[in-house]
Each structure stands twice: as structure tokens, then as C-alpha cells.
Structure 1
Amino acid sequence: MKPVSLSPEAVVELAEAAAWYETRQPGLAIRFLQEVDHTQHAIQSRPLSFPKLAHTSVDLEIRRALLPQFPYALVFIELQTETRILAAAHTKRHPDYWLNRLQKP
């Protein structure tokens, strides 16, 4: 199994989402982050089981793992030595806003 890493942008997105959930209900941020952790483990153990994003114009296999209880998806690619989570994307907002992150090393 390859390790899973988060892009700096994904870290910020997760922190912002967790903070927002905590303002809505105490303890909800913990539930959100537990789901993120569970989904990261699923990505690490079976990355190819998640669907490819076919609508992107980039010639890479970009995949998406939905969080079961929250409207977020972890968007990721497989690299030689790791699986990189590019974005923690809200599923109801600005699809593909994270595509420019593919240009970064």
C-alpha cells in the first residue's frame, strides 16, 4: 500500500470545513474528521475502487471518494510513491476548482 498524503490546500479545506461544522454543533467537527480519516484509509487500501472523474480535461486518472455522511469528496491521484489527495471538495460548490493544483509538483 502506498501512503496517502494531503496537499496543503486540502489540509486548509478540511480545517475550514471542520471549523464550520463545529460552529453548527459541538462535536460535529470530530465526526467529520473521523469520516475523513475512515475515507483516507479506504483510499489507501483500495484506491482503484473509487470512480474516475471522466469530465476533467487532464490526462490523469483523477478519482473521487465521497464522505458518506457529509457533502464532501476527497479528490485524489495515484503517483509513483504515494496517493495524493488534491482537494477536500464540497460536492455542491464549484466543481473542478482544484484542477490548477495538478500543475504543482
Structure 2
Amino acid sequence: MTPVIVPEAQNEIANALAISRNAGRLRTAIDRALAAIGANPMIATRIGRSRFRRYILTGRIPYSIVYAETADEIRVVAFAHNARRPGYWKNRLPKN
């Protein structure tokens, strides 16, 4: 299943690529992470008791992909920098 990326997360990806010293490497890491999530949505760590998961990119890439799986889709709600404003994206999570 191909993950659906919400507009806020799309903007965060675009901003990260714009400021990256190696945008090609970052783009490759993002594409691989999204493919891994699409192939196995349970690959990442669950965030608390919610249905949301955090896939942490490896290497020198300080970002995480935050997503949830429903019956119909995998929804990416944030592309979050691991050291900046922790949890800022939590208001994007549906309450249900």
C-alpha cells in the first residue's frame, strides 16, 4: 500500500530537501522509508497507546516519519526533525 502524505508533511519534506546539504541522499532515504512502511506498516515503533507509529530514518538523517494505518490507507501526518520542537505535530493526530 502506498502511504498518503498529508499536505503539512509534504511541506515538511519539501523544506527538509530545500535545506539539506545532500538532498539526493535524503530523497532516497525518504523513498526507501515510505516503501518499507507501505510494505509492512507495523515496521515502526508505536507512539504510546495510539495507532500512530514513528519510523526513524537512519544514518545522519535526523528525521522521523509519523504515520497511522487504517483499513483503507497509511496516512503520513508528519516528517519531523528529531531534535526540533518535539511533538509539535501531535495536534494533527485525530482523536479517534
Normalised TM-score (structure 2)? 0.90
Identify which of 81, 94, 105 aligns with 2:85. Answer: 94
- CA shift digits 1:18-73 (9 cap, x unpaired): 0001xx3xxx101101100000000011111211011xxxx631101111120000
Identify which of 41, 44, 49 aligns with 2:35. Answer: 41
Alpha-carbon spacing, 1:97–1:33, altered in 2? closer, same or farther (3 Å): same
- Structure 1 gap segments, 5+ residues each: none
Q: Is this contact kept in 2: 1:4–1:40, CA < 8 A?
A: yes
Q: Is this contact kept in 2: 1:53–1:61, CA < 8 A?
A: yes
1:72 paired to 2:63: yes
The CA RMSD over aligned residues, in Å, is: 1.5
Q: Which residue of 1 aligns with 2:51?
A: 61
Normalised TM-score (structure 1)? 0.82
Q: Which residue of 2 aligns with 1:7?
A: 6
Give aligned-pair identity as a percent.
36
Is the partner of 1:34 in helix, strand or coil? helix
Is the partner of 1:68 in helix, strand or coil? coil
